[in-house]
Structure 1
């Protein structure tokens, strides 16, 4: 072993010192000694990974061995780099090959337990689905640096289901597969990690499904793909997925490389450059050799802008690797030879500096160190006499990059687009503050308008005076303008909407009024401009239940049962467009609160019914029908399945952002098999129906999701089964349920499924609720649960002292009234069974008065307080505002509620409400 080379290695890297301290045997291994000088081929790296992990079945051992191998290879690469025994291209290729091999190994290891549990993932085309792993960024281009994250996107070819006993859909299988792959590589153990995995480049970024189908990705890129995503997909490369993966990648090429010469890329580049410059200033990272002026990113930008402009017609410019494409630019005459030489020289030097920085502590950073000791290590590694000499060379190379970049991407002088409708503009300016004026200026002189076709610009110029006129007539002109400008920007390439608004002055005025009342409505229209079609044709009446059912049924009838993506789209747009119609009626027609809640509840129930029907049909098509609990064959009409709604849905009190609290109940023979070719038990059939229902309802798509679903109110909560038989539900409620679960049952009702089973559920619910109970015990349990909610969800003591009142959670708020209604049912329905009939608070309180349990005055007072507080919370939700309000404004209402709470629930309670 060369002692001088070892010394250089340890001088270059504190991380290498740590590795050697933990693994002193590395220097004694023949493999390590032989390979310190010679480059490794792709096949050799694959072999090393495979042999290190061969025959390992224990997860902890597998993870440890791969991390130790990573440390050994990192030590070798740092050794080579510090002693100039390799070059940037070779080193980055080897790093990328190791990442590929690690991904493939992790993918294969993660698959085994999933298949054992769920079976093979089979698409509707009958083919077993593979997890397609798309490498993006540096890994996609095989340019990985010493401490890179790896940017990945997970995809699969076609939707379907697994064929095991615990069946799940293909997307869920691939999501679990991808999650496990990430864990195997990303998790930090005592032996470190393999690679940090970044998934943010996937469609819709964080918060979206971790794996996406070929069809969904294609639809996303064609309808919603943004300019920066074109740059990102230049470097995309398939790591796993075989032919299916390559077909998926081929599909993305037209999105990235336009057939025509695409000069709009210059504008996009200017916009991205400006964004990065703002970020550099914000984070004070001028010394970042990647993002700072003249850094690695600018070299990549120069190459990529030419790729996007000419790549569709010059196929040689579609290469992922920066230096390869840079040479091609010289060969086709788009860059002169001197520019190519200078950019290549700067790029290779900057990448070498990047490796020197990252070798110090195995950290993903490109910032020059500030500590003298670390600076000296870099100086020694890069063979400079001192830090100033290094900076002189670095700045000279960066200056050449800056020169080329600024020569390529010159800012043009703003070209005014606005005709002289000066009077309206002056009136508008008079009501705007400086911030709003700047936003208007940026809108008209920004990059978005410069890329518009001339016809679209002309339409916008025609529309603008109409918009200003309508805004000036509103009571909050600046508010309306600021909320509507993002919407106008979202339809700039669909200017037919602007024409329709010009032609329908009433529609424009209604849009402005909605904007002044509800930012939520504006955000919905901005995110989903397709909803404007519905808005412009609305009559602003609340939708009727029968019309909702007919509309959704007709839309779904046109879709084949296996066309899941289309079903998802219909369900989501049905929900969003009808909720928007309710909001428009709420704001513009001032519909009563309870009518609004009824309509929102109807939309949810119709959605649940249609989704349950789809889930049942999809499951039955694959597995046949089960037997019911009485031995009769189930069918499309005789489903032996129901869905119970709890909470706001059960209480017919849905709001705009409400999720759905659901419990699934079946009446099937759990042991008997279905009558299809792929037989499963009745129990598994019921589970699969519920799982498919959840997938249809909650999967994130381009159009969002239908609803958030919460199933924690099922027997035994999250530890319980997703679906419960009616008999098991009955036994649990009668023998094992806590009182708070009976309290939740007060607000439950069956909302979907077979009517005979729904009737059985309702009868059981009443039977459970009217059991005789010790009134003192009920009072004690209700009080205990209420106190927990106040402690966790209510305003803090400091906030209350400052005059803050949480409309829902604080004393005298909505939850107090709800708890009193639930107390009335649990405590008094044993002697007054009619109290258990309804699930909504208003009718419960009315029935309590009719039964003589509450005075008519008390019931009326509670109902009025409840409706007042709900109406205000409803208004705040439309305005995207907190439920915390000024306590002084609600003194009288709270006093009524608190006094009744004291009388009914907690005689010892004291309330220090003060009128301001």
Structure 2
């Protein structure tokens, strides 16, 4: 053997000396094995353990052999750790793998005598019940120390009875099974133990049955689960009974990771930290590198609090391992890269110290030794020349951890602010009129507040002074207060939201700023408080199309194909939360109008695409697939069905609250049946898909509707069928459509469905729009349609005389510009087909200038007028105001638009503004 490495190992560990003196011959034999000096894979550990125990039937012999194997492996791991032949991650993984196989082997060995005595445990459904072993703590995270306890929970699927001569119930069988498993591993013999087993993390702890059914465990977590247990269950991992065990873990996930952003985790962490600190003082554990200030537990708490706050929405944060989740915190920018590196370095350092401490005497302890001889051994194990050098490094790491932990958990409630609540309230009253002051008084005097549970009332009282302080700092305190009071009232029974806002003061400031600008946002949040979850974690960057697709996919992964209500909930909350995110970016980050419209359009398109897929799959699951016109059988990818977006959706110009103008087109053999057990014709299939789509999108639920949908632009309007074949659509556009329908087609665009069919639609659109038309006829028809709209939707004479301008419908408004763009396509694309390429007004106007039909100055003037008017329409929508504005503010813009209207469409009009 390597003498220098052996001497260092024996000098570092009393336990290693003891093991070497007993098992020297076997250890020297082990050393000659190649894998002794390198890492052991899980498969190798399994093979070594099973080989050791193979064909052993005697219980005492089984226990003896496993304990000897454990001692030899422990010597090996200490050797590698002391001589830096391994690292913390590799070592803890190998230790955890060994624990897994020991548990599995002990479980199998413990079952045999029980089966002989009682028979198999049979559930009420007739299935044989298994003992599910859940690893908690460091075992669950595969982070075991050299001398860790293993925290276990035993469970089984369902109640029942054994089928042997002596009958006992399944729970009693599993309790006996678990007791024997513990004895085989935990009992101390002349050869020591394998693992100390701790069962106190099970529901109700030591006072409860050793094994529980899934139903009992679920009931406990729902009704009695405590906050500290959420922390514990983060690390839960199935050791045996993988399939059923995974079902159990899936059941616990909603308890651990709340669907909403959950800032109550801060309070729970503070409570646990307070209890730990009291225990540290009581037991004189200040030098405990796990529980003491700046220790391992504080690093774990830092990671876990982010996991509990955001893990429900960000699945990456559900990882059990501390270092993995720590890396994710940097990727998601919850912590800076430099802070994460410091915490990682501290964690690895402290865990290595922990191993060295436990290697001294094979004891489960994290306290620094106090005797000189053990201190010498520890510094040798860690490679330090003096004790003071080691302590300097230890203090440096602990100071960093302590500072970061304090920064994270410090209370965000200013105690001086709380103390001065009356002064703040008086200051607020100076900014309120009598009706607003009365509203506040009525709120605090209301039965809703009086009936709040004590904890909820405390949360409200803690929130209120912070809220008042920030309201007073806003531009319009009364507006902010009046708009947010309904939201506060709506969350009184879910005061966790108030905790979130207090813990995230920046989020509360942003909320107040948005309230000043947009009552619409406040109304959305009040009606759907669940949107606060997303608001609090927003980064206020506009979402990309890829971001939206990923978000939708992740949310639907949790929903089964037949859970229609859950699908509708996902669609609605997806739309509402992302539109809210766009509005926040619009208001707080002042994102450009075109990018805001692009983002709103992307949200709608992802919603439409997803809804079409869900609707198509639902119909296909029931009736089978139809046949395409080319004779091929459809699939989920080759649907033979598309959705066309018209209007603002087609023109990539959606605003807040816009409905969707949609047309459904298919390319199916209408009379050929589907291939399901229950068959329908291709036409019936297409119709059912369209109807299912409409139902998923527009059904009113507790979460509202996803979108309002208008299908009146389909061939023949409301008199036509809901879905049309591509051929019939093309014939209608060619033979029967009015010119105004071709106008509408300018802003049409295929947005979802079969790619081949989408391209075929674009060909038809291009062919229809690039027909050679009589310019005078187009002018007359466009002018006639525009006048109808002004008469029905524009300002009346009284409003015009009082200086009102309808931003959208009056002369010089948005619709005039849209009609001019549509006129250009219909009148000129017969000779210049490039004009029909795009469906959005800005690019049509740009192409008109590029092709010489407009001067650059004219095109840019129209584009700037259009963007200015649309930007104002967005602002008005956010403020819940109609489109009527002061005409004097828009005089110059309107004159530009009206001048070009006169030039392009109505030369006889004169100055349209003079007639108003």
Q: TM-score range by the shorter chain?
A: 0.5 to 0.7
Unaligned runs of 5+ residues in structure 2 are: 1-417
Q: Measure the CA separation in 2 of the matches of 1:509 and 1:551.
A: 26
Query: Given the alignment of the two structures, is residue 825 of structure 1 paired with residue 800 of structure 2, yes or no?
Result: no
Q: Does 1:704 align with 2:704?
A: yes
Secondary structure, aligned partner of 1:431: coil
Q: Secondary structure at the match of 2:494?
A: coil
SS in 1 for 2:459: helix
Q: Residue 510 of structure 1: CA displacement?
A: 0.3
| Aligned equivalents of 2:554, 2:901: Cα separation in 1 | 49
Shift of 1:474: 0.6
DSSP-derived class of the 2:780 partner: helix
Instruction: Map 1:641-720 onto structure 2 (within 5 A).
Output: 641-720=641-720
Deviations along 1:467-488, one digit per CA (max 9) or x if unpaired, are: 0110111110000000011111
**Residue 912 of structure 1: CA displacement?**
5.6
Return the offset for 1:500.
1.5
Match of 1:560 in 2: 560
CA contact (8 A) 1:463 1:502 kept: yes
Q: Is the 8 A contact 1:419 1:461 kept in 2?
A: no
What do residues 482-530 of structure 1 show as CA deviations (whole Å, max 9, x unaligned)?
0011111111111111111111111110000000000000000100111
Q: In 1, are the aligned partners of 2:769 and 2:829 still within 8 Å (CA)?
A: yes
Please name the residue that 2:723 is paired with. 723
Partner of 1:621: 621
CA distance in 2, matches of 1:828, 1:481: 54
C-alpha displacement of 1:563:
1.0
Q: CA deviation at 1:455?
A: 1.3
Q: Report the 3-state secondary structure (helix = DSSP H, G, I; strand = E; otherwise coil) of the residue aligned with 1:493.
A: helix
Tell me which residue corresponds to 2:360: none
Aligned to 1:442: 442
CA contact (8 A) 1:627 1:672 kept: yes
Q: Which residue is equivalent to 1:798?
A: 798
Distance 1:713 1:915, change over 3 A: closer
Does the CA-based 8 Å contact 1:673-1:680 persist in structure 2? yes
* Paired position in structure 2 for 1:336: none
SS state of the match for residue 664, structure 2? strand
**Cα displacement string for residues 803-834 of structure 1 (whole angstroms, at most 9, x for unaligned residues):** 00000000000000000000000000001000
C-alpha deviations, 1:251-284, integer Å up to 9, x for none?
xxxxxxxxxxxxxxxxxxxxxxxxxxxxxxxxxx
CA distance in structure 2 between the partners assigned to 1:913 and 1:779 by the alignment: 20
Deviation at 1:420, TM superposition (A): 5.9
CA offset at residue 671 of structure 1? Answer: 1.2
Q: Is the 8 A contact 1:525 1:531 kept in 2?
A: yes
Q: 2:661 is paired with a residue of what secondary structure?
A: strand
Map 1:33-72 to 2 at 5 A. none
Distance in 2, matches of 1:603 and 1:515, equals 23
Question: 2-side partners of 1:562 and 1:843: how far apart?
Answer: 43
Match of 1:893 in 2: 893
Which residue in 2 is equivalent to 1:256? none
Q: Deviation string for 1:449-476 (max 9, x for gaps)?
A: 0110111111111111100110111110
Mapped contact 1:650–1:748 kept (Cα < 8 A): yes
- d(CA) in 1 for partners of 2:912, 2:688: 53
CA–CA distance in structure 2, aligned partners of residues 655 and 612 of structure 1: 22
1:747 aligns with 2:747: yes
What is the alpha-carbon distance in structure 2 between the residues aligned to residue 495 and residue 560 of structure 1? 31
Following the alignment from structure 2 to structure 1, what is the Cα–Cα distance between the partners of residues 602 and 521?
A: 20
In structure 2, how many angstroms separate the alpha carbons of the residues matched to 1:871 and 1:818? 15
Shift in CA distance, 601/471, structure 1 to aligned 2, threshold 3 Å: same
Q: Is the 8 A contact 1:483 1:515 kept in 2?
A: yes
CA distance in structure 1 between the partners assigned to 2:709 and 2:536 by the alignment = 31
Matches of 1:461 and 1:560 in 2, distance apart? Answer: 41
Cα distance in 2 for partners of 1:558, 1:470 equals: 38
Matched, 1:595 2:627: no
User: In 2, Cα distance between the equivalents of 1:520 and 1:581?
Assistant: 13
8 Å Cα contact 1:888/1:915 also seen in 2: no
Quick check: 1:622–1:676 contact (8 Å CA) kept in 2? yes
Shift of 1:558: 2.5
Once the 2 structures are TM-superposed, how far is the Cα of residue 547 of structure 1 from its aligned partner?
Answer: 1.2
> How far apart in 1 are the matches of 2:483 and 2:612?
37
CA contact (8 A) 2:898 2:912 kept: no
Q: For residues 31-110 of structure 1, what are the structure 2 equivalents within 5 Å?
A: none
Q: Is the 8 A contact 2:514 2:587 kept in 1?
A: yes
Equivalent residues of 2:641, 2:754 under 8 A apart: yes
After the TM superposition, which residues 136-285 of structure 1 pair with which residues of structure 2 at under 5 Å, given as runs?
none
- Checking the alignment, whether the CA contact within 8 Å between 2:811 and 2:913 is kept in structure 1 is no
2:663–2:723: 8 Å Cα contact kept in structure 1?
yes
CA offset at residue 914 of structure 1?
A: 6.7
The structure having more radius of gyration, on CA atoms, is: 2
Q: What per-residue deviation string (whole Å, max 9, x for no partner) do you get for residues 599-633 of structure 1?
A: 00000000000000001000001111111011111
Deviations 1:839-890 (A, max 9, x none): 0000000000011011111111000000000000110000001100000000
Kept in 2: contact 1:515–1:521 (CA 8 A): yes
What are the superposed Cα offsets for residues 743-777 of structure 1, whole Å, 9 maximum, x if unpaired? 00000000000111111111110111000000000
Does the CA contact (< 8 Å) of 1:806 and 1:884 recur in 2? yes
Deviations 1:286-325 (A, max 9, x none): xxxxxxxxxxxxxxxxxxxxxxxxxxxxxxxxxxxxxxxx
Provide the rounded CA distance (Å) in 2 between the counterparts of 1:495 and 1:915. 57
Aligned mates of 2:914, 2:587 — CA distance in 1: 33
Distance in 1, matches of 2:620 and 2:559, equals 17
Residue aligning to 1:289? none
Q: Is the 8 A contact 1:891 1:915 kept in 2?
A: no
Q: Does 1:527 align with 2:542?
A: no
Partner of 1:426: 426
* Alpha-carbon distance in 2 for matches of 1:654, 1:850: 26
Aligned to 1:477: 477
Task: Give the Å deviation of 1:637.
Answer: 1.1
Pairwise CA RMSD of aligned residues?
A: 1.5
Unmatched 5+ residue regions in structure 1?
1-417
**Deviation string, structure 1 residues 549-587 (Cα, Å, up to 9, x no partner):** 111122223322211111111111111111111011111
Task: Give how far 1:422 is off.
Answer: 2.1
Structure 2 residue 834 is the aligned partner of structure 1 residue 846 = no
Distance 1:419 1:427 in 2: 14
The CA distance in 2 between the partners of 1:432 and 1:486, in whole Å, is 16
Secondary structure at 2:705 match in 1: coil
How much does 1:540 deviate? 0.6
Find the counterpart in structure 2 of residue 86 from structure 1: none
Query: Which position in structure 2 is the counterpart of 1:865?
Result: 865
Identify the residue that residue 573 of structure 1 maps to in structure 2.
573
**CA distance, structure 2, for counterparts of residue 560 and residue 598 of structure 1:** 31
State the distance in 2 between where 1:717 and 1:433 align. 52
Deviations along 1:760-808, one digit per CA (max 9) or x if unpaired, are 1111101110000000000000000000000000000111011000000
CA–CA separation in structure 2 for the residues paired with 1:799 and 1:520: 25
Distance in 2 (CA, whole Å) between partners of 1:908 and 1:915 is 13
Q: What CA distance in whole angstroms lies between the structure 2 residues aligned with 1:559 and 1:537?
A: 23
Find the residue that maps to 2:674 and give its secondary structure.
coil
In structure 2, the residue corresponding to 1:784 is in which secondary structure?
Answer: helix
Contact 1:888 1:914 (8 Å CA) reproduced: no
Alpha-carbon displacement from aligned partner over 1:349-368 (angstroms, at most 9, x marks no partner): xxxxxxxxxxxxxxxxxxxx
Match of 1:311 in 2: none
Deviations 1:116-144 (A, max 9, x none): xxxxxxxxxxxxxxxxxxxxxxxxxxxxx
Shift >4 Å, 4+ stretches: none
The answer for the alignment partner of 1:502 in structure 2 is 502
The match for 1:464 is 464
